[in-house]
Amino acid sequence: MKYLCLAYYDLDKFKALTPTDMQALGAQCKTHDEALRASGKASAHASLSMPDQWKTIRPRGGKPMVSDGPFSEAKELVGSFFLIDADSIDEAVRIASLHPAAQVGEALGWGLDVRPCDMFVA
Amino acid sequence: MTTPMNHPSTAAIHRSIEAVWRIESAKIIGALARMLRDVGLAEEMAQDALVTAMEKWPESGVPDNPAAWLMTAAKHRALDWLRRGEMLDRTHEALGHETDLHHHVASAELSDAVDAAIDADWAAKRGEEEVADNLLRLIFTACHPVLSSEARVALTLRLLGGLSTDEIARAFLLPEATIAQRIVRAKRTLSEARVPFEVPRGVELAERMASVLAVVYLIYNEGYAATAGDDWMRPALCEEALRLGRILAELAPQEPEVHGLVGLMEIQASRARARVGPQGQPILLLDQNRARWDQLLIRRGLAALERAAALGALGPYGLQAAIAACHARATTAAETDWVRIAALYDALAQLNPSPVVELNRAVAVSMAYGPAAGLEVVDTLLVEPSLKAYHLLPSVRGDFLAKLGRLAEAEAEFRRAAAMTRNQRELDLLLERADSCARLVVPPLAP
ipTM over 0.95: no
Q: Is the pLDDT of residue B227 over 70?
A: no
- Main-chain phi, psi angles of B13, to 5 degrees: -65, -40
- Give CA–CA dist B377/B313, Å, rounded: 25
What confidence score (pLDDT) does residue B16 get? 85
Q: Is omega for the bond preceding A70 within 30 degrees of 0, making it cis?
A: yes
Residue numbers in B near A55 (CB within 8 A): none
CB-CB under 8 Å, A52 with B79: no
Round to whole Å and give the CA distance between B71 and B76: 9
Cβ neighbours of A52 in B, within 8 Å: 60, 63, 69
Boundaries of every domain in chain A? 2-116
B259-291 pLDDT, tens digit per residue, is 999 999 999 999 988 988 887 777 888 899 999
Mapped onto helix, strand or coil, the DSSP state of residue B67 is: helix
The stretch B220-232 carries a mean pLDDT of 67
Mean pLDDT in residue range B221-226: 76
Size of interface A-B (CB pairs under 8 A): 72
Count of domains forming chain B = 1
- Kindly report, residue by residue over B127-139, the tens digit of the pLDDT: 677 788 888 999 9
Report the pLDDT value the prediction gives residue B107, as an integer from 0 to 100.
38
Residue B7 banded pLDDT, cuts 50, 70, 90 = low
Give dist(CA A72, CA A65) in Å, integer. Answer: 16
* Residues whose CB falls within 8 Å of the CB of residue B302, separated by 6 or more in sequence, listed in order: B263, B267, B325, B328, B329
Mark out chain B residues that contact chain A at CB-CB < 8 A.
Answer: 31-32, 34-37, 52, 56, 60, 63, 68-69, 71-73, 75-76, 78-84, 88, 125-127, 130, 134
Distance between B155 CA and the closest CA of chain A, angstroms: 22
Q: Would you say residue B344 has pLDDT above 70?
A: yes
Mean pLDDT computed over A71-76 = 87
What percent of chain B has pLDDT above 70?
A: 85
Q: From residue B333, give the alpha-carbon distance in Å to each of B346, B381, B392, B395.
A: 21, 27, 21, 21
pLDDT exceeds cutoff 70 at B351: yes
pTM for the model stands at: 0.76
Q: How many CB atoms lie within 10 A of CB B161?
A: 25
Residue B363 has pLDDT above 90, yes or no: yes
Tell which CATH classification among 3.30.450.20, 3.30.230.10, 3.30.70.1060, 3.40.50.300 matches the domain A2-116.
3.30.70.1060
CB B146 within 8 A of CB B190: yes
In the prediction, which pLDDT does B11 show?
A: 86
Bridge partners of A56?
A: A67
Per-residue pLDDT at B399: 95
- pLDDT score, position B29: 94
The H-or-E segment that residue B431 falls in is: helix B424-440
- Residue B93's pLDDT band (boundaries 50, 70, 90)? very low
Q: How far apart are CA B46 and CA B54, in angstroms?
A: 12
Summary count for chain A: helices (H), strands (E): 4, 6
CB–CB contact A23 B34 (8 Å): yes
pLDDT beyond 80 at B152: yes
Q: What is the rounded CA–CA span in Å between residue A115 and residue B232? A: 60
Mean pLDDT over all residues of chain B?
85
Mean pLDDT of B301-317: 96
Please compute the mean of the pLDDT values over residues B91-116 and round it to a whole number. 39
Nearest CA in chain A to B83: A30
Rounded to an integer, the average pLDDT of B81-101 is 51
The predicted pLDDT at position B87 comes to 52
- Residue B339 belongs to a domain: no
Cα–Cα nearest to B23, from B74, B66, B73, B64 = B66
* First-last CA distance in chain A: 12
CA dist B441 to B259, B372, B412, B438, Å? 50, 19, 12, 5
Per residue in B159-212, pLDDT (tens digit) is 998 888 988 888 888 899 999 999 999 999 999 999 999 999 888 888 899 999
Note the helical H segments in B194-353: 202-224, 233-251, 256-270, 295-310, 316-329, 338-351
| Cα–Cα nearest to B396, from B420, B428, B363, B350 | B363
Q: How many CB atoms lie within 10 A of CB B255?
A: 20
Query: B78 and A27: CB-CB below 8 Å?
Result: no
Q: In chain A, what residues touch B126 (CB-CB under 8 Å)?
A: 15-16, 18
pLDDT band at B216 (very low <50, low <70, confident <90, very high): very high
Arithmetic mean of pLDDT, B219-246 = 77
Which residues of chain B does A68 touch, with a Cβ-Cβ cutoff of 8 Å? 60
Residues of A in contact with B80 (CB under 8 A): 47
Query: Does the pLDDT at position A74 exceed 70?
Result: yes
CB contact under 8 A, B78 and A22: yes
> What distance in Å separates the CA atoms of residue B127 and residue B59, rounded to the nearest whole number?
32
Nearest to B33 by CA among A31, A23, A73: A23
Give the pLDDT band (50/70/90) at residue B424.
confident
Averaged pLDDT, B20-36: 90
pLDDT for the residue numbered A33? 92
**Least confident piece of the model among A94-98, B200-204, B264-268, B319-323:** B200-204
Asked if residue B157 belongs to a domain, the reply is no
pLDDT in tens, A17-48: 888 888 889 989 989 999 999 999 999 889 99
What pLDDT, on a 0 to 100 scale, did the predictor assign at position B444?
A: 57
User: Given an 8 Å threshold on Cβ–Cβ distance, is A17 in contact with B63?
Assistant: no
Strand pairing class (A55-60; A42-47): unpaired
For residue A99, what is the nearest residue in chain B, using CA coordinates?
B83
Instruction: Report the residue of chain A nearest B49, measured CA to CA.
Output: A49
pLDDT confidence of residue B100 = 36
Pairing of strands A76-85, A111-116: unpaired
Task: Give the mean pLDDT of chain A.
Answer: 93
pLDDT(B318) > 50:
yes
How many contiguous H segments (helices) and E segments (strands) does chain B have?
20, 0
CB B13 within 8 A of CB B57: yes
B85 compared with B290, residue with greater pLDDT: B290
C-alpha B50/C-alpha B29 separation (Å) is 11
Helix, strand, coil percentages for chain A (3-state, nearest 5) = 35, 35, 30
Range of the domain at B15: 8-90+108-126
- Please report the pLDDT score of residue B4 as a whole number: 46
The pLDDT of residue B437: 93
Residue A116 pLDDT > 80? yes
